[in-house]
Structure 1
Amino acid sequence: IEVVRMAVNSKLGKFTKRDILELVPSISATSIERSLKELCDLGEIKKEGIGKATYYIRLK
């Protein structure tokens, strides 16, 4: 989760899971999804949209 958190912190405005995959190609998509969900649960990011239109916004 720390690597994904650092990638999220490097983004300004909204970002997608694909953006994080491009920043951290060594981590699987499943692990990134799990980390993004955990960051949402912690209130660090907010998930918007559904399916392919999903994007995230950094809150902290």
Structure 2
Amino acid sequence: MRNGNTTSGARFIYDAIEFLSARNHVPPDAVAQILEKKRQQLQLTLDAMRKRISQEGARATFDRD
């Protein structure tokens, strides 16, 4: 279920969700929906960070000229 490219923080979230679902007998479909939502949120955060870094890099290059 886990993606090999996750960070340790994301891995902790995945492990916690899996632990709680096993302990409380949450249906696998519900777990899959939660994991997918968290993955999408993490991806949006990473994309925003990459965009900001690239914009700052472009600004720094422009300022040097």
- Shared topology, TM-score over 0.5? no
Looking at secondary structure, tell me which structure has more strand per residue. 1
Higher helix share: 2
Using the size of structure 2 for normalisation, the TM-score is 0.31
Higher alpha-carbon Rg: 2
User: TM-score with structure 1 length normalisation?
Assistant: 0.33
